[in-house]
Amino acid sequence: MTTHIRNFCIIAHIDHGKSTLADRLLEHTGTVTRREMKDQLLDDLDLERQRGITIKARAVAMTFKRGNDTYQLNLIDTPGHVDFQYEVSRALACCEGALLLVDAFQGVEAQTVANAYAAIEHDLTIVPVINKIDLVHARPDEVAEEMMNSLGTDPEECVRVSAKTGIGIDGLLDAIIEQIPPPSGDPDAVLQAMVFDSNYDDYRGAITYVRIMQGTVRKGQKIQFARTGQSHEVVELGQFVPHRQGCEELSAGQVGYLICNIKSLGDVHIGDTVTILGDKAAPALPGYARPKRMVYCGLFPSDGQDFSELRDALERLSVNDPSFEFEPETSDALGFGFRCGFLGLLHMEIIQQRLENEADIDLVQTAPNVTYEIVDKRGETVTIHKPQDVPDPGDIEEFRQPIVRCSIIVPNEYIGAVMKLCQERRGIQRAHEVLGANRTMLTYHIPLAEVVYDLHDKIKSCTKGYGTLDYEMVGFEAADLCRLDIMVNGNRVDALAIVCHKADADRRGRAVAKKLKAEIAQHMFEVAVQAAIGSRVIARETVRAMRKNVTAKCYGGDISRKRKLLQKQKEGKKRMKAIGSVEISQKAFMAVLSDSE
């Protein structure tokens, strides 16, 4: 019966205790014994444990006895970082309710507000929860007031818990059962299930995570994916408790997994609909909005032999993380590789680390850049994912950059420092809201290129760790931008090209030229390292030639002997420069690319 099922997720800002609360719920419902219990039980990626953050949303089914009734509670634990917002949106589509978790000391943060509005858009019932009430400096009453001011929740309805010590967990379980509505859906209707995630197992093939919206799916049944039209037989199905546990059927309202011996990774699409074969198949569900990739960079194997291994590893990763994309590209300097699109810089870093750890491939990564739009002289709009594709300045009518709305929550004493920082990043202030006695939310429109590199770190630094940042895409606006090329010995180095504001071009060009000069080895001829905008050179550094003292053996005698030898050397160097090529080592690229400025 669906009346005894509750589907909910936990949403919160980073480090407000989502994974710890999930651990306590598993313990209190008896899903996991105290002996099996470990911290961050649902974070099963090595990277999640190393960094102490959640990267992938995880589903788990819990059984809870209350009086004479037995309830099935399906929890989806979600990430908190802004880069993994797409994971959160997928979790919200599978639930009827959300626990909105807020730290009893830090209070409402930028990501808390963003997640709360996302849950409201999905028509979810929100249960406000104040966590960490066991802290010495906890201020639950003030935080409840902040939640009322910024999110409109009733302070009386806030459930106060300590996920670490287990205080208030029983009251929270009661609130989940009483406040979150049971799923609507008829177990006897035609099968209609939403694919919200997938994973690849080397022995079982693709494992499809589904939320059953209508109907029932049974072992041995033939099913069809609405998007690809392909049919498969269900070999195994079950739920996560928290590890895979098989069962005979899953019916409306339940969350679980299907194994259909799918060996091809391209057959499972997240957001697809699982239904029955034939004319009576249920209509496809709306699925998910496509994620907007905002940061692009090139990934190249440092050893050219690893190209096919890198492609296989990227395909495997893209099965359970559809929010990044990749396509092959070639670079004169770095050989064959892939152009990859990510949701943000942390997302890029995580993917790169997963590739290095799970596939054991050594990578070279080009400087990350954001997506731009260009209107050319013919009036056509072109989307630019890499600086090398930017046309010459004479062909550009309008150069547009992506703008994001940044919500920054800071204690009042740091408002001046944050405003100065945002103005330096060409930000335009849009709003100024007071959240409580000592906290303010500033809203700015800032170019994305100024945000993704290090704005988050800079805000943390100038607010002593108390400031928080959340951003969302607004659109594209025209700006005074240019493509900055780096030339070595007169040849453009494609991997080092960047798009930047014209006012910053001189500074950045000089910095890269200086860095390259230090890294390029001396040759037998003089090597010019230049930064240029179009055909105009704006910075130059020179790597001196190796010189041999050819006049050392001339002691005494006529000066013309020395001149003759020096002239001969000069001609030799000129000839070498004409036919010589400059080798830029991998180390030199790494040194320049690792420095974002």
Q: Say whether 15 counts as a known binding-site residue.
A: yes
Q: Say whether 562 counts as a known binding-site residue.
A: no
Q: Say whether 69 counts as a known binding-site residue.
A: no
Measured CA to CA, the distance from residue 426 to residue 432 in angstroms comes to 17
Measured CA to CA, the distance from residue 561 to residue 565 in angstroms comes to 6
Q: Say whether 131 counts as a known binding-site residue.
A: yes
Task: Please report which residue ranges of 15-168 form alpha helices under DSSP H.
Answer: 18-28, 46-51, 85-92, 110-121, 140-151
Measured CA to CA, the distance from residue 23 to residue 326 in angstroms comes to 35
Q: Say whether 134 counts as a known binding-site residue.
A: yes
Short-list 263, 83, 268, 280, CA closest to 194: 268
The answer to whether the bond into 368 is cis (omega within 30° of 0) is no
Per DSSP, the three-state class of 144 is helix
Q: Say whether 465 counts as a known binding-site residue.
A: no
Read off the tokens for 255.
């969350």
Length of the chain: 597
- In Å, what is the CA distance from 34 to each residue of 27, 28, 29, 77? 7, 10, 11, 20
Q: Which helix (H) or strand (E) holds 207?
A: strand 205-214
Measured CA to CA, the distance from residue 344 to residue 472 in angstroms comes to 11
Task: Please report which residue ranges of 29-180 form alpha helices under DSSP H.
Answer: 46-51, 85-92, 110-121, 140-151, 169-179
Annotated binding site: 15-20, 131-134
Could you tell me which residues are annotated as the binding site for GTP? Answer: 15-20, 131-134
